[in-house]
A and B are shown apart, each in its own frame.
Chain A
Amino acid sequence: EAGVTQSPTHLIKTRGQQATLRCSPISGHTSVYWYQQALGLGLQFLLWYDEGEERNRGNFPPRFSGRQFPNYSSELNVNALELEDSALYLCASSHGTTGETQYFGPGTRLLVL
């Protein structure tokens, strides 16, 4: 069974630009979660999508947004990039809203110059 996949693996942008990150969940999983992991820090919850709807978001500004497609894959968009947005962005998936176990992808490393 294929795991969670993310693309691209690395992304370099300049301040003020927009970044788009993509995630494909494990087959059969309907929930997708996005986390930000800044260097040397823990995982900060960003967004949760289930069945195409945004269910909740963490304490991040509105320039962090995303969506979930009918095939349950997801996209994270970060607008007006700032230097402090440089981080590893992790996507996880689980079996619907009551599937406790989240399985993580390898992440997209975003560098903002």
Chain B
Amino acid sequence: GENVEQHPSTLSVQEGDSAVIKCTYSDSASNYFPWYKQELGKGPQLIIDIRSNVGEKKDQRIAVTLNKTAKHFSLHITETQPEDSAVYFCAASTSGTYKYIFGTGTRLKVLA
């Protein structure tokens, strides 16, 4: 069935270093890939998204890359700050459907 694998499950980095979180999806029809950040006690917040007609998208310190052939997409956070500490979820979706398939989440800790 449809599946999104997300790695790593936990990630600790020193403040100022970069963090990379990777997801792999199984449904080749997927064409929309959002990333959400969830802080403790809060709902997930959309931080960046990418569509399948684009290979890379950047927004300040956050970037997402997509490799459609390999069915991989990754979140890159540069110059990490303590406030980046949260759980990050990737998701895959197909236009015209309701369905988000979420990854299992990555707990990012940025050490000051």
Contacts and interface: CB of A to CB of B under 8 A. Distances in A.
A63 B89 CA distance: 28
Looking at chain B, what size class is its interface with the partner chain?
20 to 34
Contacts of A41: 104
Contacts of A42: 89, 102-105
Contact of B49 (A33, A56, A101): A101
Interface string A52-89: 00011000000000000000000000000000000000
Contacts, number: 50
Interface in B54-109: 89, 93, 95-96, 98-100, 102-105
A90 B98 CA distance: 16
A107 B98 contact: no
Contact of A98 (B46, B49, B95, B99): B95
B46 A103 contact: yes
A42 B44 CA distance: 11
B105 A100 contact: no
Interface in A86-112: 90, 97-98, 100-107
Contacts of B89: 42-43
B49 A107 contact: no
A101 B100 CA distance: 10
Q: Identify the interface centre among A42, A100, A103, A106: most chain B CB within 10 Å of its CB.
A: A100
B45 interface: yes
Interface of B: 32, 34, 36, 42-46, 49, 89, 93, 95-96, 98-100, 102-105
Interface of A: 4, 6, 31, 33, 41-43, 45, 48, 50, 55-56, 90, 97-98, 100-107
